[in-house]
Chains A and B, each alone.
Chain A
Amino acid sequence: MTSKRANPFAILDEDIKKRSKERYVLRLYISGITPRSTAAIERIRHICEKHLEGRYELEIIDIYQQPSLAKGEQIIAAPTLIRKLPLPLRRVIGDMSNEDRVLVGLDLRPNK
């Protein structure tokens, strides 16, 4: 990290630093145990361990088992990762193969 003046993203960095203490509540909605679902689960676990160690909660829900939850959470795509906390609510859809975009989606990295 360089000095505040030199970095135009200093404010965002500040934000991220602040975020670094916040608690994350995440839900991953999958549709059955498919290769895509398992890949998504593995990747999100990996990302969480890496960036949110000790301050996250990850719940995995199979919408096939609980279709009414899909309605309540406005799920259309699978897999969908929902960041319940911190607000605002964010959605990341896909198999989480692009780690950068997952981090952007979770506000863990500024969108460059």
Chain B
Amino acid sequence: MLTAKLRPATPQSDQLEKTPTGIRGLDEIANGGLPKGRTSLVCGNAGCGKTILAMEFVARGAVEFGEPGVFIAFEETPDELEKNFLSLGFDLKKLVAKKLLAVDYIYVERSEIEETGSYDLDGLFIRLGHAIDSVGAKRVVLDTLEVLFAGLSDQAILRAELRRLFRWLKEKGVTAIVTGERGQGMLTRYGLEEYVADCVILLDLRLQEQIATRRLRLVKYRGSKHGADEYPFLIDENGLSILPISSLSLNHQASTQRVSSGISRLDRMLDGKGFFRGSTVLVSGTAGAGKSSLAGAFALAACQRGERCLYFAFEESPLQIVRNMKSIGLNLEAMVKNGLLRFHAVRSSLHGLEMHLVTKHKAVDEFKPAIVVLDPISSLMAVGSPTEGKSMLTRLIDFLKSEGITAMFTDLICSGGGLNQTDNEKSSLIDTWISLRDLELNGELNRGLQIIKSRGMSHSNQIREFLLTNKGIDLLDVYLGPAGVLTGSARIAQAAQGKAEVLVQQQQQVRKQHEWRRRRSSLERQMAELRAQSEMEEEEERQIRAQEEALTKTLAGNRADLAQLRGTDQLVSRTPAKTKQNETTGH
């Protein structure tokens, strides 16, 4: 029933029954667990974690699934065994007292033993049977049977007895794990795999460039589908964690919810609302461009909203980050104290890429953050080859997206260089890409911020000047002039110059207005003069005309007088014109 719950696919009735191991990830790879009632072989070189896997199997079975178990140790003393269990957080004594676990320690010392004639391993069977019956065990671990090969010389008897043992275990109906040391050209040194037909798990510890990575592979799993890849795994205080990270598909939810970037001006550039929840943000920039500060502001804003934030740092210690952020007015310390912000600081060279991925998975699983910051991802990518780096990044992003976590990665890029190949590769994976640039001008380095892309929103396409002050981060408009983008003091100088120009223009305008006014008044004056002159002339004209009239009148009077004097009989008109005409005719 537990098996069915863990299995994502709908179980079919004729499917092989599974026994969940309770080991993180293993049940997913094995599609539910180990084959129920059968024996599985766990093999690997010394120090691979065979015993831990086996111990976890019985201990988790007893504690989490209520299935009592038996642990038969061939290599460890009861004391050592107890300590080993305790290191995984299981109290062996308590489990034994509760009858959830039976432990037997089998000691085979070749020098003590003299073989004479035929024998069988009934002693082992009886002890095992006794242990199984004493607790009603469902799970059995034999760690490791190969000690028998070292202790007993008669291989023919031994092999026959082992075959009988595996058959007997199957008859008992217990789900068993036997461990075996890796052999040359074989899975196990003594060929134990030939007795175990159902399930073989191979553990491996590989060194690559001096970095060790543990890997697990299901070599064989009869009658069940299973992940065939090599899966990296981790051993820590909680035992094994295997992450089937390569099996993720592109079907994560797309949220329409927005999260603030922590800088209001940047939010305004991003459609006024900030990033999409569950999206991946890349902040790339040259050294000292303010990538971490941007990440810090983002983390702080998340914590202030009451969300959990997990901060992976690869270059600075948590205390250093807290101190540095304080200098720009971001108080992360309080958030660390109230448990909303957690740092996970390791040097990137500590593990291989796979292990980094596994540790990140685990940290995220445990802390369940809403926001994850990786600072810087370039340091992490440098651990492996570019292909490995991209694969790791893809899986990490897929994982974070499937969890609905908003992630911010910072990325150090070479100054001066444009967008190189790696950037393009990264770009296809991320949703929002913010580029921080050093803008060098007039012997000054200033920071510029630009959104290169942001999927699913209309964003500002302008460059802003990115200011780090002791009151926090601010974005300013840059001065866009004929000489290009100006920042810093050049921007201030340019702005001042602009102001001066405006002033000059204003003054010119005032002057012009003055002149206009003056010219108009002078024109008006001229107009008044002319008007006066014309009035004068009019007056003169009137006077002249009056004089002329008077003269005409006088002349006409005189002619009449003359005619009277000459005794002209014709009537002389009084009008001068007629008189003139008459005069002409008369003459």
Contacts and interface: CB of A to CB of B under 8 A. Distances in A.
A94 interface: yes
Interface residues of B, number: 24
Interface in A50-102: 63-64, 67-68, 70-71, 74-80, 88-98, 101-102
A93 B106 CA distance: 16
Contacts of A80: 119, 123
Contacts of B125: 31
B116 A101 contact: yes
B117 interface: yes
| Main SS at interface, chain B | mixed
A68 B129 CA distance: 11
A78 B130 contact: no
B127 interface: yes
A96 B117 contact: yes
A95 B117 contact: yes
A90 B114 CA distance: 8
A70 B127 contact: yes
B130 A101 contact: no
A102 B158 CA distance: 20
A71 B117 contact: no
Contacts of B122: 31-32, 63, 77-78
Contact of A67 (B108, B117, B127): B127
Contacts of A27: none
A36 B114 contact: no
Contact of A29 (B113, B117, B123): B123
A94 B118 contact: yes
A60 to B, nearest CB: 15
B120 interface: yes
B152 interface: yes
A101 B580 CA distance: 191
Contact of B106 (A63, A76, A92): A76
B112 interface: yes
Given A76-B106, A76-B108, A31 B126 contact: yes
B65 interface: no
Contacts, number: 96
Contacts of A67: 126-127, 129-130
B572 to A, nearest CB: 182
Interface in B141-167: 148, 152
B144 to A, nearest CB: 14
B169 to A, nearest CB: 16
A104 interface: yes
A105 interface: yes
B126 A70 contact: yes
A68 to B, nearest CB: 7
A78 B119 contact: yes
Contacts of A32: 122
A64 B122 CA distance: 9
A101 B114 contact: yes
A79 B113 CA distance: 12
B390 to A, nearest CB: 53
Contact of A105 (B116, B121, B127): B116
A97 B117 CA distance: 5
A33 to B, nearest CB: 12
Contact of A31 (B108, B112, B120): B120
B118 A97 contact: yes
B333 interface: no
Interface in A1-35: 29, 31-32
A79 B129 CA distance: 17
A104 B114 contact: yes
B470 to A, nearest CB: 72
A112 to B, nearest CB: 14
A95 B121 CA distance: 12
A46 to B, nearest CB: 13
B119 A79 contact: yes
B119 A71 contact: no
A91 B109 CA distance: 10
Contact of B116 (A31, A64, A98): A98
Contact of A77 (B104, B112, B120, B130): B120
Contacts of A105: 114, 116
B107 interface: yes
Contacts of A88: 112
Given A76-B148, A77-B123, A79-B119, A71 B104 contact: yes
Contacts of A70: 123, 126-127, 130
Contacts of B117: 40, 94-98
Contacts of B114: 90-93, 101-102, 104-105
A49 B29 CA distance: 62
A36 B116 CA distance: 12
Interface in B80-128: 104, 106-108, 112-127
A100 B114 CA distance: 11
Contacts of B107: 74
A97 to B, nearest CB: 3
B121 A92 contact: no
Contacts of A97: 116-118
Given A36-B119, A68-B130, A91 B152 contact: no
Contacts of A68: 130
A76 B122 CA distance: 7
B474 to A, nearest CB: 75
Contact of B121 (A76, A101, A102): A76
Contact of B123 (A36, A76, A96): A76
B315 to A, nearest CB: 55
A32 B129 CA distance: 15
B568 to A, nearest CB: 188
Nearest to A80: B123
Given A77-B121, A93-B116, A97-B116, 18 more contacts: A31-B122, A31-B123, A31-B126, A36-B118, A36-B120, A70-B126, A74-B107, A76-B148, A77-B122, A78-B121, A80-B119, A93-B114, A93-B115, A93-B152, A95-B118, A97-B118, A101-B114, A102-B114
7 contacts: A63-B123, A76-B121, A93-B119, A94-B115, A95-B116, A95-B118, A105-B114
Nearest 6 pairs between A and B by C-beta? A105-B114, A97-B117, A31-B122, A75-B123, A94-B117, A67-B130
